[in-house]
Structures are given as C-alpha cells and as structure tokens.
C-alpha cells in the first residue's frame, strides 16, 4: 500500500499546480519521485521535475510550456560559449528531437533529469555538451582543455555551479593522478599508441609480445585513467549521474589530445 503524502509532499504538489496550472501532471508518479529525493526535497527543482515528467508523458501543454519557459536557456548557454546563430539553431532543433521525439527504441534525455539541480541549469549543461560535440566534429584537433572549460562551465550540480575554479583544478588534478598511477609499461604503451600514433602491432614487436597483450596494456591504461577520474571527481566535487558521466565521456573521447602533455612528462 502506498504511503500517505507527507506535509512536505503536499506542499510540493501545491507548488507544482501553481507553477503549471494548465499542464496535466501524473501526481502519483510525481509523488514517488519526490519521495525518492529524500533530504534533497527541500532544495529540489520540483516545478522543473514535474514539467519534465509531463513532457515525458507527451502532454502537449507541457511541451508548449517547456518550449516557452525552458528552451530559451539553450541560446543563453550557447551565446556564452561563442556559438553562432546557425549553431544555436542547429543545436536547438537537435535537442527538440532528443527531448521530445527521440524515435523508436530511444529514450528522451529528460529521463536523466533528477530534479536535484534546476531544469534550466540541466538544459544549459546538455546544450554545452552538444556544442562540444559539434566543435569536436568541426575541429578534431581542438585543445581538449578548451572544450572541457566550456563544458564544465555549464554544469548543474550545486557544488559545481558555485566552484568552477575548484572544479577545473580538480579535473586537472584527477588526470595528473591517474597518469602518475599507471605502471611504467602501460603508461609508455599508451603514450606510444595515443600520442605517437604507434599501432598495436608495432607495440607488440617492440615489446616482443603477442598483439593481444599489447592491446590489453593500452586498454587497461585507458580504463584505469577513466576509473580514477570518475572516482576522484565524484569524491572531490560530489558529482554524480549525468554530470559525472558526461565529464568522463569527454575524457574518454578526447584521450589523445588531453593526455599528451602528461604522458610526455
């Protein structure tokens, strides 16, 4: 039997009704989500969470409200990052599809919004991520640090919003520590492969070992760096969920560009 709503939940539902009077909200589903927030309920973006859930249900009034009240944050975030009008338009359209019409077999990115940050801040982070992807496709050799700065500047975790400088320092420190912790052989193999462009077959010949062994050294080095960065950022900055996953993806995707200086020490 479901638990009776608490006074805090009742107050939260009242806030949601006032915020979106014309938007149908599945209050049973919303109560379950609000209950799951626990101690974070007092600071959560309840109105944003309710609107996101209504959008996921395909409520037309919710989609219109999101377009009117939330989607302009995309342009705000991208202008700060120097995006052109055409780039803003392209990313806005892409996000409309990914949020509202993701296609068969795919889930809307709104399922990742937990309510612990603001919906507006979360969307700015998603827009910054898309801008980073766009710029990497246009300029594959762009410095990783510039992309990381732009990406992290739009983070939604409360600690990240109030400590961009600390986040940047922690991000660099995590990479430094991860590389330093690698065994010498794996670090050298990763540098030769990722930085110098040496093939796995060439690595195997140099070390007089089987190709699969050389490939395993490189793969293990990459995995160890990713795991260390994830653990370090989660611990130092209290990142979790989509914010943490996005930062780690950025590390993995841009490994050669980001680790060149550190691997060459």
3-class SS string, 194-228: HHCCCCHHHHHHHHCCCHHHHHHHHHHHHHHHHHH
The percent of the chain in helix, strand and coil, each rounded to the nearest 5, is 75, 0, 25
Rounded alpha-carbon distances, angstroms, from residue 10 to 31, 117, 175 = 9, 21, 45
Cα-based torsion angle of the residue sequence 33, 38, 42, 48 in order, rounded to the nearest 10 degrees:
-20
196 and 112 both lie in a single domain: no
CB 87 within 8 A of CB 78: yes
Q: Does 165 lie in the same domain as 52?
A: no
Q: What does DSSP assign to residue 102?
A: -
Comparing 95-99, 135-139, 238-242, 251-255, the range with the smallest average pLDDT is 251-255
Of 102, 120, 152, which closes a domain?
Answer: 152
Q: Which residue has 């980001």 as its token pair?
A: 258
Count of residues making up the chain: 265
Separation of alpha carbons 188 and 176, rounded Å: 15
Residue that terminates a domain, selected from 124, 152, 180? 152
**CA within 13 Å, CB half, 31:** 13
Judged against a pLDDT cut of 60, whether residue 7 lies above it is answered with: yes
CB 233 within 8 A of CB 170: yes
Question: What average pLDDT score do residues 138-154 get?
Answer: 50
**Is 133 in the same domain as 177?**
no
Note whether residue 36 is domain-resident: yes
Q: What is the pTM (predicted TM-score) of this model?
A: 0.56
Domain that holds residue 116: 7-152
Q: 63 and 100 in contact (C-beta within 8 Å)?
A: yes
3-state secondary structure 146-162: HHHHHHHCCCCCHHHHC
Place of tokens 């010498």: 184
Is 1 contained in some domain?
A: no
Say yes or no: 185 and 222 in one domain. Answer: yes
- pLDDT tens-digit readout, 171-215: 777 778 888 888 888 888 888 877 777 888 888 888 888 999 989
The pLDDT assigned to 66 comes to 96
Angle at 256 between CA 252 and CA 262, to 5 degrees: 100
Q: Which residue has the higher pLDDT, 257 or 115?
A: 115
Per-residue pLDDT band for 24 (boundaries 50, 70, 90) equals very high
Q: Are residues 172 and 222 in the same domain?
A: yes
**11 and 114 part of one domain:** yes
In a domain, 2, yes or no: no
CA dihedral 233, 239, 241, 245 (to 10 degrees): -30
Total domain count, the chain: 2
| pLDDT greater than 90 at residue 36 | no
């Amino acid at each position: 039997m479901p638990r009776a709503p608490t006074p805090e939940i009742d107050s939260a539902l009242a806030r949601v009704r006032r915020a979106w009077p014309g938007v149908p909200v599945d209050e049973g589903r919303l109560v379950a989500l609000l209950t799951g927030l626990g101690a974070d309920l007092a600071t959560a973006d309840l109105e944003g969470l309710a609107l996101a859930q209504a959008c996921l249900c395909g409520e037309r009034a919710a989609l219109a409200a999101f377009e009117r009240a939330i989607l302009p944050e995309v342009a705000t975030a991208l202008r700060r990052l120097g995006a052109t009008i055409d780039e803003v338009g392209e990313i806005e359209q892409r996000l409309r599809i990914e949020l509202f019409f993701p296609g068969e077999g795919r889930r809307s990115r709104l399922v990742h919004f937990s309510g612990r940050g603001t919906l507006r801040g979360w969307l700015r982070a998603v827009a910054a991520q898309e801008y980073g992807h766009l710029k990497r496709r246009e300029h594959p050799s762009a410095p990783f640090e510039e992309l990381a700065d732009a990406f992290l500047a739009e983070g939604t975790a409360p600690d990240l919003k109030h400590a961009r400088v600390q986040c940047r320092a922690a991000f660099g420190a995590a990479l430094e520590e991860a590389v330093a912790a690698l065994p010498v052989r794996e670090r050298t193999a990763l540098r030769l492969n990722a930085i110098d462009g040496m093939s796995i077959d060439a690595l195997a010949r140099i070390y007089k070992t089987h190709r699969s062994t050389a490939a395993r050294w490189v793969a293990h080095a990459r995995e160890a760096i990713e795991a260390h960065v994830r653990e370090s950022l989660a611990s130092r900055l209290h990142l979790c969920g989509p914010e943490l996953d996005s930062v780690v993806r950025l590390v993995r995707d841009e490994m050669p560009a980001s680790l060149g200086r550190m691997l060459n020490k």
